[in-house]
Structure 1
Amino acid sequence: MSPSPAAPLRTVLVGAGGIADAVHMPSIREIGDELIVVDTVVEIDDDRRTAFAEKWGVPHRTSSLDDALARHPDLVILCTPPSLHRDQVMACLDAGVTVWCEKPPALSLADYDAMTAGERDGGPWAPIVFQQRYGSGAEHARTLLTSGALGRPLIAHCQTTWFRDEDYFAAPWRGSFSGDGGPIMALGIHQIDLLLTLLGDWEQISAQIARRSRDIETDDVATAWVRFADGTLVTIANSAVSPAQESHLRIDAEKATVELTHLYGYDNDDWRYTPAPGVPETEAATWRNGLPNERSTHTPQLRTLVADVLAGRRPQASGDDGRKALELVTALYKSALTGQIIRRGSIGDGDPFYAALNGGISF
């Protein structure tokens, strides 16, 4: 275990595309140069690398991750396609550097386990970008649910019904099991991770997938039902072909219905609590969110990550915690493609679905 670094964290940003420019750099600047600075940008496209470095004032630029790691940074942020994540994360951990990796984390459980095998107690770690769990609205809902203030969760619904046209899927790596994993991995995994953060461990899943409209390798719509370890029954709906786009999460507990409706990010006001008949108004009033509003952007997760790295403690969404949503998605595909009910923890080495999201099955 190496000593914890000092602020500001010297950071390498890998991939200078849209999400790096429009999302990560604004979040880094919002947190402040006293805590984190981008020292190097890695990008294989010469023009994009130069333009990005000049726009954001990044002093060092290279096309090689190995060259950037040779400068001994404190943190690496990966904004690259999912098919590159395994090797890039492994290289960072081998160099002793914590790496924050954009979702989806990997394209198979085998890849995820291989790339996180280099994590160590005290660091380095490989947390995944799961910003939906970090808004103050989710923090408040999680406190109410885990404390029992709302009674036992009974039934829930997790919905990601978005719209992506043919142009979106024109990129050869999109809509493929070897590229981005398809719409469940690329789109629905946000709400799935939030669902798991709020409700805990699931127990078994049964699912169906279909290709209804887009000319892609993967599904463009999917549904599933899931039984959680505490008995809560959950339905999941995922779509890349829904004109009225919506992200929706609903949890019906004994004392209240918790609802979140948004699209790509939420504020405190996007959460609604409806008390059950007979619940006193005075009790329902205690459910109000008194936390300062923090939108579910990358910023709150990065702020927490920076604090964790500086303190030498394991970040959320790393290791087993970062694996949970990927395991559920993998089980969803195994159920849909085999017609079986799949139990949590049953997909391991030797199972074709451990090595590939679709288990090598075309549909």
Structure 2
Amino acid sequence: MTSFLGAVAAATAPRSPTRSGSGTKRENTPMPSPRPPYRVAIIGTGGIAHAHAEALTELSERARLVAVADVDLTRAAEFADRFSVPHVFSDPQALLESQDLDLVHICTPPQTHAPLATMVMRAGVTALVEKPTALSLRELDQLATVQEETGSKVLTVFQHRYGAAAVRLRRLADSGALGRPLVATCETLWYRSDAYFEVPWRGRWDVEGGGPTMGHGIHQFDLMLSVFGSWSQITALAERQARPTDTEDVSIAAVRFDNGALATVVNSLLSPRETSRLRFDFEYATVELEHLYGYREEHWRFTPAPGHEELSALWTDGDEPDITSGHRLQIEAVLDAWETGQEPGVCLQDARRTLEFAAATYASAFRGVPVAAGELTDDDPFAVSMDGGAVPWEPVKEALV
């Protein structure tokens, strides 16, 4: 991680894009069909990178993984051997300078996401960044500035938006068929032992940006936001109950949406029976999801209100493939968008709404007051860092060298 950051620091000066296949060109010009596979690289070859590489393998007719980079060259070489990647680097800048790329997946620890995304954009390439996009609202806004300067894009991995049932739910909700949105519950009840936090960068504000609110529950409440829309106010609690972390290990929030709906959100790493649950109560139907790390059709339940039984047919109408809500679906959606001249998701604007939700959860919890959307502006401590300098407990992690 230190080497990545050093390489990033040397590459932050603005420069003209040098790639003929930049993300901007792909997004603004419909691509001919058939066309050669898109050229893709991965920076960071740890655990989550395998999910990206497996998804790209499934999409090999449309996208080809041509290079990887990791500060641990041995790990990178083993990864490249497993996925038949021809080019291996220890320096992400060297990768960008030697390869003609369309897309770079950033799969490194969160502290490096924004610097690496900046590097990728300045090389004229689209960056697809694992969550969280950045450690703070300030960092994300800096990415937006670079995006405007370069014309290249930053996309965030929120793959659960792309499962067939979630797409269908948004379509029905947006059409008004389900009536007004009224109530939601969003629960990420996971379990991580003390040993999980022996990895030095886990459980640290300065590297992960936060605890389960930033690193785990963010997928579920991002999906909730994609269905219910913009939130207006959050009242929250956060505690470090049991784990050897500097961050919280549980948070709970009560949320009001612009459309008047209310929701509760729980993010926990203390729950031995792990589950991820979402429930949406609309005027004419309840839609529920319970899964763990990825859902299929079987994980959803649709219950129409009395007198609205005909809605069940709308819920089951469709012949979409029943594929687990993983990285493949989002990557495929990006490629589809490029080839039809559309803007791919998840864009920085959408990612900012989700990141602001996390920041407001922390600000409300540690200040003990409700926080409104848009309140954390400019130099507000909670816009600068998720802990806001207001965490009420002592750190337990040793400083990283």
Give the TM bin, normalised by the shorter chain: over 0.9
Q: 1:98 aligns with which of 126, 130, 134?
A: 126
C-alpha distance in structure 1 between counterparts of 2:205 and 2:378, whole Å: 19
What is the match of residue 319 of structure 1? 348
Displacement of 1:50 in angstroms is: 1.4
What is the match of residue 182 of structure 1? 211
After TM superposition, list the pairs within 5 Å mapping 1:150-189 onto structure 2: 150-180=178-208, 181-189=210-218
1:25 equivalent in alignment to 2:49: no
What is the match of residue 55 of structure 1? 82
Equivalent residue letter for 1:66:
Q
Equivalent residue letter for 1:234:
A
Distance change (3 Å), C-alpha of 1:36 and 1:283:
closer
What is the match of residue 16 of structure 1? 45
Give the secondary structure class of the aligned counterpart of 1:223: strand
1:83-136: CA deviation from partner (whole Å, max 9, x where unpaired):
001110001111111010011111101111112322249942110000011000
Aligned length: 360
1:148-168: CA deviation from partner (whole Å, max 9, x where unpaired):
111111111011000001111
What is the match of residue 200 of structure 1? 229
C-alpha distance in structure 1 between counterparts of 2:269 and 2:337, whole Å: 35
Does the 8 Å contact 1:90/1:116 carry over to 2?
A: no
C-alpha distance in structure 1 between counterparts of 2:127 and 2:285, whole Å: 39
Unaligned segments of structure 2, at least 5 residues: 1-21, 393-401
After TM superposition, list the pairs within 5 Å mapping 1:279-318 onto structure 2: 279=308, 281-292=309-320, 293-311=322-340, 313-318=342-347
Does the 8 Å contact 2:156/2:348 carry over to 1?
A: no
What is the match of residue 261 of structure 1? 290
1:362 equivalent in alignment to 2:362: no
C-alpha distance in structure 1 between counterparts of 2:206 and 2:76, whole Å: 26
Equivalent residue letter for 2:103:
L
What is the match of residue 68 of structure 2? 41
Q: 1:332 aligns with which of 361, 372, 375?
A: 361
Does the 8 Å contact 1:224/1:237 carry over to 2?
A: yes
Distance change (3 Å), C-alpha of 1:291 and 1:348:
farther
C-alpha distance in structure 1 between counterparts of 2:148 and 2:340, whole Å: 15
Root-mean-square deviation over aligned CA pairs: 1.7
What is the match of residue 351 of structure 1? 380
Give the secondary structure class of the aligned counterpart of 2:359: helix
Q: Which runs of 4+ in 1 moved over 4 A?
A: 120-123
Give the secondary structure class of the aligned counterpart of 1:259: strand
Give the secondary structure class of the aligned counterpart of 1:234: strand
C-alpha distance in structure 2 between counterparts of 1:122 and 1:83, whole Å: 22
The TM-score with structure 2 as length reference comes to 0.86
Does the 8 Å contact 2:121/2:150 carry over to 1?
A: no
Bigger shift: residues 244-253 or 3-12: 3-12
Displacement of 1:269 in angstroms is: 1.8
Give the secondary structure class of the aligned counterpart of 1:196: helix
After TM superposition, list the pairs within 5 Å mapping 1:98-247 onto structure 2: 98-120=126-148, 123-180=151-208, 181-247=210-276
C-alpha distance in structure 1 between counterparts of 2:110 and 2:136, whole Å: 10
The TM-score with structure 1 as length reference comes to 0.95
Unaligned segments of structure 1, at least 5 residues: none
